[in-house]
Amino acid sequence: MKGLRLLAAIMAVALLPLTVMAAPGPVNVGLQDVIDTVEKTFRPNRTSGMPPLVSVTADFFQRSTLAAQNREMRADGQMFFRPATSREPLMFRFDYFRPLRHEIVSNGRTLWTYLPENRQVIVSDVSPVFNPYTFDPERNQASNFLQGLGRISKDFLVVFSPQGRDIGGNYVLELTPRRATATIARLYMAVNGEAVANYVRSGRRIADSIASLGRQEWTFPILSTTVVDHQGNTTIIEFSNARTNILLSESLFTFAIPPGVQVVQPPQRR
């Protein structure tokens, strides 16, 4: 799935609290605060079964680099995303506008990858992967990065990256899979510094933090992800213009196959 391909020496430093200057005053931020800002935003509440963030739509810019060929590919588009709840699976849609139009859509049961130029759609059964009734977030490793946003510290060893923060004061995390994966050697995540500071100021209560954020795009705390695979290839996805907790119809996450398009079904894994 091309759309989505998103330590020890610094541990002592990484665990030290950092200070963020943000109104109304400075707050002390530690590594766990940054992790919590991400995880608690997407983790379903035990009472309601719903996460604080129930939907996201955002623009994205993607830059992929093939290490062996020293070649870079760029793309952009729009993302729609509904995190998993206690009753519904993860749903997402990536519409690529440039350089070639294509769509990656999943309702949590079926995944469609549509390539208009090839007049072909790849249809995959993902219900065993995203089914909220069979996936145990306490025991199972998330098989998709979007599925695992509410539990990154379980699936990855998380530390601050060597740079710690970017030029805008946002935190950069370095994540190493706790168990080997075929597609990820390392993952870097830029987390909005204002969202983290507001989480700390709100008494580390994520619902209060989200309710009091001054700008809606801060509610979606992830600014970018960088995936590095085992061959050294990188895929960077940057998010912008996020809108959160708006009504997204389920029909948005279902793909209607156009007439005359070839349907390809990958072989089932045994």
Which residue ranges of the chain lie beneath pLDDT 70?
A: 1-25, 130-145, 214-218, 268-270
Number of H helices, E strands in the chain: 6, 14
Q: Peptide bond preceding 24: is omega within 30 degrees of 0, i.e. cis? A: yes
119-143 pLDDT per residue, tens:
999 999 888 776 554 545 444 444 4
For the chain, what are the domain ranges?
28-264
d(CA 81, CA 252): 10
Q: Peptide bond preceding 99: is omega within 30 degrees of 0, i.e. cis? A: yes
pTM score, two decimals? 0.82
Joined together, the tokens standing for residue 191 give 């987390």
d(CA 237, CA 6): 6
28-264 carries CATH number 3.40.190.10: no
What local confidence, expressed as pLDDT, does residue 199 receive?
93
What local confidence, expressed as pLDDT, does residue 17 receive?
38
What local confidence, expressed as pLDDT, does residue 163 receive?
84
User: Which residues of 107-170 form beta strands (DSSP E)?
Assistant: 110-115, 120-125, 156-165
User: Which residues of 192-256 form beta strands (DSSP E)?
Assistant: 222-228, 234-244
Q: Which amino acid makes up residue 233?
A: N
Are the CB atoms for 260 and 119 separated by under 8 Å?
A: yes
Element (H, E) at 211: helix 206-212
* DSSP reduced 3-state for 107: coil
Give Cα 187 distance to the centre of its chain.
11
Are the CB atoms for 244 and 53 separated by under 8 Å?
A: yes
Joined together, the tokens standing for residue 99 give 């350089």
